[in-house]
Amino acid sequence: MEPTPGESGLAANTPVTAEESIELVSYSRALEDVSFGAIADSDVAQIQWATPDGLETVGRGVAVRLSASGPARFDRIRSQAETVLGELDHNGPAVARPRAFGGFAFHDEREPGTPWNGFASASFVVPHVLLTRSPDDDATWLTVVGDDTDGVRDALEEWSQRVDDYPTMRASGRSPGVDSTRRTTTPDRWDEQVDGALERIADGSLTKVVLAQALTVDLEEPVDVSATVERLRRRYPNCYRFLVNGGDGATFFGAPPERLVSKRNTRVETEALAGSVPRGETPEADDEYADQLLADEKLRHEHELVVDAICTQLESFVSDLSVADRTIRRLANIQHLLTPISATLETDHHVLELVETLHPTPAVGGVPPEVAWETIRETESFDRGWYAGPVGWFDAAGDGEFAVGLRSGVASDETVTLFAGSGIVADSDPTAEWEEVQLKFRPVLDELR
């Protein structure tokens, strides 16, 4: 499918900076039900985003690209966004409004390299063409964004006609097949890494650290990432799903179970998700694992570290904080301890301020954060890239939603690199932690086989 003229222009290759200014206009139109995957079958820069509660978006082309690096990357993205989106003239309902989609690398200082070609430390795009379906609205909305009113109106007409010809169902395609796998970390090396972390925990400098592994998967044929995300939707309907095209041949995708934060007006929702056991092969075995999860002192300690850290990080922003009862989130192959957390902001803040404050939670980093980051950098032999970083969207009002980039991989042609980690605390057993990591590889790996 060839790109329209608007998809290859309009700052598509040049990041907008805080010093530049561009006046955007958008127009929206309600459509009959269409397949979201139908506009995702091209090499044009694109995004896909879906939430457990039913918001689904697919973007094609680039109206504006924002990028930043270094410790000030959150502020720089927010500043660029205010310049670009501050004067946005949106002609359509709020549900169809333009949004900036993208994310942040786990570490702020890094140089993109294989397999993360094209992924800056922070990068967002406002798509040229956006399809949106929301649980708050029965319609599917087509939105076109650009800097020329007549051009945007013409593109809306053209895309309305093109979308009418698309199928209403999205085929999930077939798996590409796995030829071989390559590990960055051997079992012996993993034992050494966990033992090293336990030594720091024993001497009191560290309370928890999440160590990760990378698994390179060589495929029998090129992967259709959009179709893989569709298969993940069918198997993990209660997870987020995302796809971000890095623009240089690499695509980051996944089905994370964990919300980092969402903000709507002054309402904030987040959650602690830490502590894991497998699913059982029978209902009785499943319940036994769940009981173990709720009773295990080590897993509860690991979970409470995350709850306490999130509450502490939010205290300076909110007027009230509500911590719900601990429960269990059951996925197809794993169970997690879950504690929902909600709050009301004292004054309005941009969602990126909350993202910066919360990232990384102890569920993907550790306690204390600085020592955990240092331990991760010294221990892991690969670049996490955007793995375990914030992935999501924000709008002109500063509202938005971000997931944690877990259960994920980065794809390029016939290779996918998967990432998974495990929380190390006092009394962690290297063998048990190894098995947990392998379990977390499975959601994406199973859809590639």
pLDDT for position 164: 76
Residue whose token pair is 């309902």 = 93
Is residue 1 helix, strand or coil?
Answer: coil
Nearest to 14 by CA among 171, 130, 125, 175: 125
The pair of three-digit structure tokens given for residue 191, joined into one six-digit string: 């034992």
pLDDT for position 165: 74
Kindly compute the dihedral angle of the four CA atoms of residues 360, 364, 365, 368, in this order, to the nearest 10 degrees.
Answer: 90
Nearest to 438 by CA among 268, 278, 275: 278
Q: Enumerate residues 6+ apart whose C-beta is below 8 A from 189.
A: none
Q: What's the whole-model pTM score?
A: 0.93
Distance CA 146, CA 135 (A): 26
Q: Which amino acid is at 402?
A: F
Distance CA 442, CA 448 (A): 10
CB 305 within 8 A of CB 299: no
pLDDT for position 44: 59
**CB-count burial class (<10 Å; 0-12, 13-18, 19+) for 313:** middle
For residue 214, the surrounding DSSP H or E stretch is strand 208-219
Give CA angle at 192 (189, 195), nearest 5°.
Answer: 150
The DSSP letter of residue 359 is: S
CB 120 within 8 A of CB 102: no
CATH 3.60.120.10 segments of the chain? 178-227+258-448
Q: Report the CATH number of the 178-227+258-448 domain.
A: 3.60.120.10
Catalytic residues: 208, 258
Backbone angles phi and psi of 256, in degrees to 5: -75, 140
Q: Which residues of the chain have pLDDT under 70?
A: 1-20, 35-45, 167-172
pLDDT for position 136: 80
Q: Alpha-carbon torsion 111, 116, 120, 121, what sign?
A: negative
CB 42 within 8 A of CB 94: no
pLDDT for position 11: 37
Nearest to 145 by CA among 2, 11, 1: 11
Nearest to 353 by CA among 127, 81, 94, 107: 81
Residue whose token pair is 């495990």 = 422
The DSSP letter of residue 306 is: H
Nearest to 389 by CA among 351, 366, 360, 421: 360
Q: Enumerate residues 6+ apart whose C-beta is below 8 A from 326.
A: 294, 303, 337, 338, 339
